[in-house]
Each structure stands twice: as structure tokens, then as C-alpha cells.
């Protein structure tokens, strides 16, 4: 057994136990956020099955938070779906980055595409060689999917007993998660700060007059100057 382990390490193959260990903190954080998502969704008035099925079928944390947030704020289904879809368009680029890691066959590609998230792509691309990247993608992706959905299910079942989520501060989870997703990009690229500030101002200005969900879509207009500047370069 020890000789097999030495041979495996010498050949550059990844250690599954090490990948599990490295992924575990991300899984833990995802489970906590999933629990919050399920609890707020149900406490806000949605049936238990809605966050559970959404997490299994859609499986896109930030898009799920935004979609449910718009619904609970009184927005219509079109505005909620449009907001979620726009947030999720980034996964198209992610899919191109990890397309060679999914393996051959339609089944593997369909399953792998469903597991593409910010975390799984970042974890996979951080590995030094193709073998490690492939193993990291599948181990982190499957574990994240399982923990996220378990957290959502537990949170949804507990949400009926929580009552007013504002008492526990869970109502702040939606904006907090979205801010956490935005901040790393703002730190990495200072040129994004002005477009983001402009988008935030547009959304705030439209909030008193526009239906829920529409201000979020209007905020995308703030990216127009950034897009023109990149095209000029």
C-alpha cells in the first residue's frame, strides 16, 4: 500500500484526501450560506420545496439569492428570472476555462457543466497540472453540490420555525452575500470601481419608483463606460 502511494505521488497524481482537506473550508462556508438561503426563503413566505428544487436544478448561489430576493421584495417572476440569469452569465466563461477537465462523453460534460461555480473553477485552475486540475474540479464540485443542497434543505425545514428573520439578522444575508461576491473584483481591478459606483447610484435613484428587481437591471447601465474603455484599448 505504501509503495502504491509512493508511486502515485511520484507520478504526479493528486491525493484525494489532500484535495478533500483543501476543499473542506469552502464546503463548510457554502453549507452555512445554503442554510441561510433556505431559512430566509421559507420564512419569507415561499414553500419549502422552492429553495430545495431551485438548489438542485439551478444550483447557482448568487443567482438564487438574487432571484428569491427580488420575489420576496414583491418583484415579478420576469424581473426575478432576468436578474438571476444575468448574474449567471459569467459561468459561460468559466465553462470554457474548464472544458478540458470534464472528460469525454455527454453524461460527464452535462454533469460537469452543472458543477461549474466560482469556487470549483478557482480551485481547479489553482492546481499545477491537468491531472490535479481534473481531480480538484470533480472532488470540490461534487462535495460543494452535496453540502450546499444539504444546507438549503436543513435551512428550509428550519425556516418555518424561525418566524421573522430580521430578529436573527438573517435578512442581511442577501445583500451581504452579493457584496462579498463583488468586493474581490473591485480590489483586483480598480477600473471597475467607477462603473460599479455609477450602477449603485442608478439603482438607488430608481428604487423609490421602479418595481422590485428593475433597479438591479438598470444598474447594469453603469458598465457601459467600462465596456467602451476596454473596446477602445
Give the tens place of pLDDT for each residue, 93-124. Answer: 677 778 888 877 788 888 888 888 878 887 78
Residue 231 has pLDDT above 70, yes or no: no
> What's the pTM value of the predicted model, to 2 decimals?
0.66
Whether 7 is in a domain gets the answer: no
Query: Domain total for the chain?
Result: 2
pLDDT of 60 reads 83
Same domain, 218 and 142: no
Mean predicted lDDT score pLDDT of the chain: 76
Same domain, 115 and 97: yes
Asked whether 81 and 67 are in contact (CB, 8 A), the reply is yes
pLDDT of 164 reads 58
Residue 219 has pLDDT above 80, yes or no: no
In sequence order, the 6+-apart residues with CB closer than 8 A to the CB of 32 are: 151
pLDDT of 1 reads 41
> What single-letter DSSP state applies at residue 129?
S
Same domain, 131 and 214: no
Grid cell 433556505 — which residue?
38
Same domain, 53 and 154: yes
Gap between the Cα atoms of 35 and 28, Å rounded: 11
Whether 6 is in a domain gets the answer: no
Residue range(s) defining the domain that contains residue 193: 189-233
How far does the chain reach from its first CA to its final CA, in angstroms?
A: 57
Residue 175 has pLDDT above 70, yes or no: no
Asked whether 20 and 139 are in contact (CB, 8 A), the reply is yes
Whether 8 is in a domain gets the answer: no
- CA distances for 129 relative to 65, 126, 133, angstroms: 34, 9, 6
Residue 7 has pLDDT above 60, yes or no: no
Residue 4 has pLDDT above 50, yes or no: no
- CA distances for 32 relative to 70, 101, 121, 169, angstroms: 21, 28, 20, 14
Same domain, 122 and 177: yes
Q: List, for residues 113-156, the tens digit of each pLDDT value.
A: 888 887 888 778 777 788 888 888 899 899 999 999 999 999 99
In sequence order, the 6+-apart residues with CB closer than 8 A to the CB of 223 are: 195, 199
Residue 8 has pLDDT above 60, yes or no: no
Amino acid at each position: 500500500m505504501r509503495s502504491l502511494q509512493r508511486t502515485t505521488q511520484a507520478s504526479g497524481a493528486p491525493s484525494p484526501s489532500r484535495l478533500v482537506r483543501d476543499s473542506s473550508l469552502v464546503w463548510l462556508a457554502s453549507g452555512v450560506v445554503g442554510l441561510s438561503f433556505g431559512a430566509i426563503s421559507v420564512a419569507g413566505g415561499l414553500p419549502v420545496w422552492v429553495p430545495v428544487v431551485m438548489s438542485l436544478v439551478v444550483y447557482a448561489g448568487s443567482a438564487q439569492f438574487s432571484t428569491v430576493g427580488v420575489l420576496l421584495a414583491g418583484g415579478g417572476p420576469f424581473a426575478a428570472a432576468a436578474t438571476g440569469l444575468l448574474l449567471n452569465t459569467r459561468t459561460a466563461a468559466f465553462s470554457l476555462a474548464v472544458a478540458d477537465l470534464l472528460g469525454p462523453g455527454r453524461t460527464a460534460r452535462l454533469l460537469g457543466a452543472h458543477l461549474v461555480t466560482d469556487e470549483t473553477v478557482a480551485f481547479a485552475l489553482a492546481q499545477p497540472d491537468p491531472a490535479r486540475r481534473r481531480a480538484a474540479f470533480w472532488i470540490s464540485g461534487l462535495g460543494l453540490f452535496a453540502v450546499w443542497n444539504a444546507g438549503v434543505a436543513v435551512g428550509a425545514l428550519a425556516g418555518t420555525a424561525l418566524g421573522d428573520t430580521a430578529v436573527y439578522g438573517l435578512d442581511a444575508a442577501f445583500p451581504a452575500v452579493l457584496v462579498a461576491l463583488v468586493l474581490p473584483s473591485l480590489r483586483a481591478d480598480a477600473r471597475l470601481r467607477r462603473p460599479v459606483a455609477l450602477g449603485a447610484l442608478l439603482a438607488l435613484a430608481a428604487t423609490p419608483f421602479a418595481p422590485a428587481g428593475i433597479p438591479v437591471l438598470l444598474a447594469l447601465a453603469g458598465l457601459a463606460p467600462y465596456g467602451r474603455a476596454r473596446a477602445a484599448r
